[in-house]
Chain A
Amino acid sequence: MRKRWTWFNITSVIFGFAFLYLPIVLLVIYSFNESRLVTVWAGFSTKWYGELFRNQGLLDAAWVTVRVAFLSASIATVLGTLAAVALVRYTRFNGRTLFTGMVYAPLVMPEVITGLSLLLLFVSINFARGFWTVTLAHITFSLCFVAVVVQSRLVSFDRSLEEAAQDLGCPPFRAFTLITLPVILPAVISGWMLAFTLSLDDLVIASFTSGPGATTLPMKIYSQVRLGVTPEINAVCTLLIGVVTIGVIIASLLTKSREVRRRRDEQAALGNH
């Protein structure tokens, strides 16, 4: 049955998208505003982008954020993947349910609590707060997201692939790196990207665990906004949106084209059988 476009459908789609994207579109538009006053339109200009690249404070914060995000995402991916493997493979060990619950708990834990508890930990062990504490904190909370993503892929992974590799003379660890890892790699990569984005836009946990010299971009933006929104902030946010959008589009294109190709190949294989 073909679905027709009725006025009701069209209106609800427009309202839905407006609800989701109107604020973002406004932000993007105002980032090209000539005027220093954010709410008054005074013609098109890209001067705030130029201004942005002369603002050393923002650039430093961006650099810290990227480093934290890259490092924490990478480490969280390794640990999260290992956790996922353990959870999927070893279905029978004492306290498995507890372990699973404990890996997932941070998913639903309010960020304020995660941040506060990490702060207390760092203070009590006398760990100087700065770049490393933010990174550690980000590893902690993004690890479980990676674990969830990788675990859902591993569940459908045919274990006999790894067994076949071992059977052909490959020791277990090498079998994992040569066979299992390449097969689940898309999930691992999307886990990494998820962790990277989470770290990139985290404000709450970073505020709790950061120290002098390790101000992340969200923290910087937030502190500046408290003094009043400047068009510079709009420009920075537009750039961030651009980066994230491009990343998401590339990722979805990659998975989609792979899926399409796979399906076409399978059809062809069935044909020449």
Chain B
Amino acid sequence: MQFLKRNIPVLIAFVMGIAMVCQYYIPSQASQDFGSDMNIWTEIIFAFALLIGVQSLIHNHTNKIRRKQVGYGFSWAVIISMIAMTIAGLIGGGVDNTKGMYFWMFQYLQVPMQATVFSILCFYIATAAYRAFRAKTPEATMLLIAAAIAMLGRVPVGTELTDWIPLGTFWANLRMEIMTDWLLNIPNTAGFRAVMFGVGLGIISTSLRIIFGIERTYMGGGD
């Protein structure tokens, strides 16, 4: 049992990990075909997993309704919507059929609702920015100044403020749009790249731990 549950998955992870690393360095047709076959397998597994996901969703919400948990009305909304979308899709076809009911529901119900949730981000950004820009420490003050310059340098009213500084002189560096470009291209890019190096190395390290079976938590088996 231990062999099936622990050793076989580690062996599969090792073999497939090494195979995919090799595939990255071999551009031949056979290697490319192998890579696309693996992608197809991933899609097939996903299709089966989606059934498990739907089962989990239905189970969870029917339980909530049965127990009359707080907000169980939303569970009704989920189940009714899911059934309605499924029936609409089976009868009138998917999104491709622009005259079908599914397309209509997708285009005029789901898309606007998603857009509404996305637009809430605007208010959240305002509150988050308010908190971030409180100049409590020297670092926060620097952040506030940099953000103010970056914002002003990106809008016409900001660039108008320093429009009177002549171009081609040393003082042109103080023009809002030039300061903004410098901030974004030099310190900001340098910071981004430093984090990217760390992320890249972190990904390699985690991949190696998984390929060599050192990290096994992801398969539910602890270390």
Partners in one complex: no
